Structure 1
Amino acid sequence: MIKKIALVCIGILLCLVVWQWELVSYGWMQAKGQLRILWNTKPVTEVLNSEAYPDSVKKKVELIQEIKRFAIDSLGLDKSGSYESFYDQEGKPILWVVTAAQPYQLVAKQWHFPIIGTFSYKGFFEKDRADSTKAELQREGLDTRIGEVSAWSTLGFLNDPILSSFLDRPEGSLAELIIHELTHGTLFVKNNLEYNENLADFVGEYGALRFLAQKHGKDSVPYRDYLATKVFYEHYDEHILRGTRMLDSLYRTFKPTLSTTVKDSLKWETIREIVVSSDTINDQRSAKGVRSVNKRPIGKLNLPNNAYFIGYLTYRKQQNHFRQEFDSKFGGDFKRYLTYLKQTYPSF
């Protein structure tokens, strides 16, 4: 009887594997990539006590520990075992993300994953898998984009390491990154990626400013440089979001009888206008430590497509909502605001 039950269970498992082979294969690839990283991490204490690492690395590692303590003690983010270990990428990219969108609609391709829900991007630890997925989506007629990822969060399921690529960032950008990812581990709403990313961006930027102000003062160079960078990118974000509205309005005028040639002409003409006019954004940042916006050649093949604009909707569309709610309802009391968010939007 036990053998029969075991055989039935194995048969059901095999059927599930065959039925969901792509998901199983993808999950196995991601698990291997994550485990490879975790297997090769070193405890932070070992890095700090080793003569193999230069002082510049140790100072940045210590800074990350300081940022993490600030995020937990001063902002009220959840305690975490993340960023207590270090992984040396040896100068190599570690993760690639593929996004896709309809060619004449600002509608993102969605991927569905067990437990964690729906995402408008798909990550890969293997570059060839990312490239083949992008090519497949292009054959389906979708606009696509592939980019390297500097950090990610396992949402508290695992303890995320410090990646060596973190250490190239200036202090404000590093604080924003760490606080952003710790926010995901504190509050992550299933099937609402736009909310999650906008919230983490808001908390990351707010937290970075508070951290720099507390450590250096508001008149310090690190604070003023980060604030100037933040202001510049806010203007850039507003410009791109206006561009998304232009594109959305254009696409809504397309009738089913309109030829693809005409649609493409109007689409790329509008995108070119958005890109060219971005040069008018005022930049008050100092040259030191500036991470500039990539300036693209204006040829069609180098213009961003709908997948690029979808990314801005995912990460930046709700920024004003969070700022206004935080200021008007909670008077700058961040811990009270975070408590409200956690009660209103239960996280898994």
Structure 2
Amino acid sequence: MRKKIALAVVGVLVVLLVWQWELVSYGLMQARGQVRIMVNSRPVAELMADPNYPDSLKQKLKLIAEIKRFAIDSLRLDPSGSYESFYDLQGKPLMWVLVGAERFRLVPVSFEVPILGTFSYKGFFDESRLREADSLLRKQGYDTRINEVAAYSTLGFLNDPILSNMLDRSEGSLAELIIHELTHGTLFVRDNLEYNENVADFVGEYGAERFLAQKYGRDSEQYRNYVAGKTFYERYDEHILRGTRLLDSLYQSFKPQTPVAVKDSLKWETIGQIVATSDTLTDERTQTSMRLVNKRRFSKLNLPNNAYFIGYLTYRKQQNRFRQEFENQFNSDFGRYLTHLKQTYPSL
């Protein structure tokens, strides 16, 4: 009898494994990538004691420790064991994310992640698996975009290491990144990626500005450059978000009988206008008109597609909402606002 039960259990497991093989194999791929990072990370204390490790990089490691302490003590983000080890990427990408979007609607392809919920992107440690997934989406008629990942958070389940590419960042960019990722470990709502990324962006930017003001002073080059850059990218965000509204209106005007060739022509004409008009944006860090990095990247033969605009809707659409709540309803009291967010949006 026991043997029959055991065989039945094994049979059920085999069926489940075959049925969900894509999910299982994807999970194994991600687990291998995470284990590789954990196994090959070195304690920061070990690097700091290494006489052969460059002093300039040791200063960046010290700065990260200061940023983390500020995030916990001053911003009241949850304590974390992250950023106390170091992983050398050796000049290679950490991982990639794939974003998919419908061809004539600003609607993302959804990817289900067990426990965490639905995401509008999918991460890959394996580049060959990434290319296969990208090819499949494109064959199905979706717009796609692949981005390299500079950092990510395991949401407090694991202790995330400092990545070698982080040390190339300016003081302000580094502070924003560390605080952004620590925010994910404090506030993360299942099935609400847009909220999670927008709130982490808001806290990251607010926290970085406060940190720089406290450490270097508001007259410092570090602070002034960060604020000027933040202002510039806010202009770019607004420009792109206006573009998403323009595209959305265009797509809604399409009729079922509108030929695909006509839809494509109008789509790319509109996207081309959005890219071209980004030339009007200025950057106070240089006091001169400059072309955006994104603008230089795109040519007439390589315009951003719907997947690019989906990224902005995911990360930046709610920025004004958080800022207005913080300033108007909570009188810029961050402690009260963080408590409100925790109570209103229970995290995992």
State the TM-score bracket (shorter-chain normalisation).
over 0.9
* Alignment-derived partner of residue 37 in structure 1: 37
Residues 96, 149 of structure 1: 8 Å contact kept: yes
How far, CA to CA, are the matches of 1:161 and 1:299 in structure 2?
36
How far, CA to CA, are the matches of 2:28 and 2:280 in structure 1?
47
Shift of 1:291: 12
Q: For each residue in 1:197-230, what CA deviation from the matched residue of structure 2 results, as whole angstroms up to 9, or x when unmatched?
A: 0000000000000000000111111000000000
* Alignment-derived partner of residue 210 in structure 1: 210
Shift of 1:53: 1.4
Residues 237, 312 of structure 1: 8 Å contact kept: yes
Look up the SS of the partner of 2:296 in the other structure.
coil
> Percent identity of the aligned residues?
68
Residues 298, 304 of structure 2: 8 Å contact kept: no
1:153 maps onto 2:180 in alignment: no
Q: 1:131 to 1:291 in 2, by over 3 A?
A: farther
* Alignment-derived partner of residue 79 in structure 1: 79
* Alignment-derived partner of residue 194 in structure 2: 194
Matched AA of 2:144: T
Look up the SS of the partner of 1:160 in the other structure.
coil
How far, CA to CA, are the matches of 1:173 and 1:205 in structure 2?
9
1:220 maps onto 2:220 in alignment: yes
* Alignment-derived partner of residue 14 in structure 2: 14
Look up the SS of the partner of 1:212 in the other structure.
helix
Q: 1:157 to 1:120 in 2, by over 3 A?
A: same
Matched AA of 1:222: Q
Look up the SS of the partner of 1:145 in the other structure.
strand
* Alignment-derived partner of residue 320 in structure 1: 320
Q: For each residue in 1:10-42, what CA deviation from the matched residue of structure 2 results, as whole angstroms up to 9, or x when unmatched?
A: 222211110111000000000000000100000
* Alignment-derived partner of residue 118 in structure 1: 118
1:42-81 correspondence runs (5 A): 42-81=42-81
1:83-98 correspondence runs (5 A): 83-98=83-98
Look up the SS of the partner of 1:109 in the other structure.
coil
* Alignment-derived partner of residue 164 in structure 1: 164
Look up the SS of the partner of 2:215 in the other structure.
helix
Shift of 1:293: 2.4
How far, CA to CA, are the matches of 2:91 and 2:26 in structure 1?
25
* Alignment-derived partner of residue 337 in structure 1: 337
Shift of 1:4: 3.4
1:303 maps onto 2:340 in alignment: no
How far, CA to CA, are the matches of 1:124 and 1:132 in structure 2?
11
How many equivalent residue pairs? 346
Of 228-237 and 2-11, the range deviating more from structure 2: 2-11
Look up the SS of the partner of 1:93 in the other structure.
coil
Residues 42, 85 of structure 2: 8 Å contact kept: yes
Q: For each residue in 1:229-256, what CA deviation from the matched residue of structure 2 results, as whole angstroms up to 9, or x when unmatched?
A: 0000000000000000000000000001
How far, CA to CA, are the matches of 1:71 and 1:2 in structure 2?
55
Shift of 1:297: 6.1
Shift of 1:292: 5.7
Shift of 1:3: 3.5
Look up the SS of the partner of 2:123 in the other structure.
strand
How far, CA to CA, are the matches of 1:91 and 1:275 in structure 2?
30
Look up the SS of the partner of 1:294 in the other structure.
helix
C-alpha RMSD of matched pairs (Å): 1.5
Residues 30, 124 of structure 1: 8 Å contact kept: yes
Matched AA of 1:271: I
How far, CA to CA, are the matches of 2:71 and 2:8 in structure 1?
50
Shift of 1:333: 1.1
Q: 1:82 to 1:2 in 2, by over 3 A?
A: farther
1:133 maps onto 2:138 in alignment: no
Question: Could you state the TM-score of these two structures normalised by the residue count of structure 1?
Answer: 0.97
Look up the SS of the partner of 1:98 in the other structure.
strand
Residues 105, 251 of structure 1: 8 Å contact kept: yes
Matched AA of 1:156: G
Residues 77, 182 of structure 1: 8 Å contact kept: yes
Matched AA of 2:140: E
Shift of 1:299: 4.1
Residues 189, 347 of structure 1: 8 Å contact kept: yes
Shift of 1:115: 0.4
Q: 1:65 to 1:74 in 2, by over 3 A?
A: same
Matched AA of 1:48: M
How far, CA to CA, are the matches of 1:155 and 1:141 in structure 2?
33
Question: Could you state the TM-score of these two structures normalised by the residue count of structure 2?
Answer: 0.97
Gaps of 5+ in 1: none
1:218-257 correspondence runs (5 A): 218-257=218-257
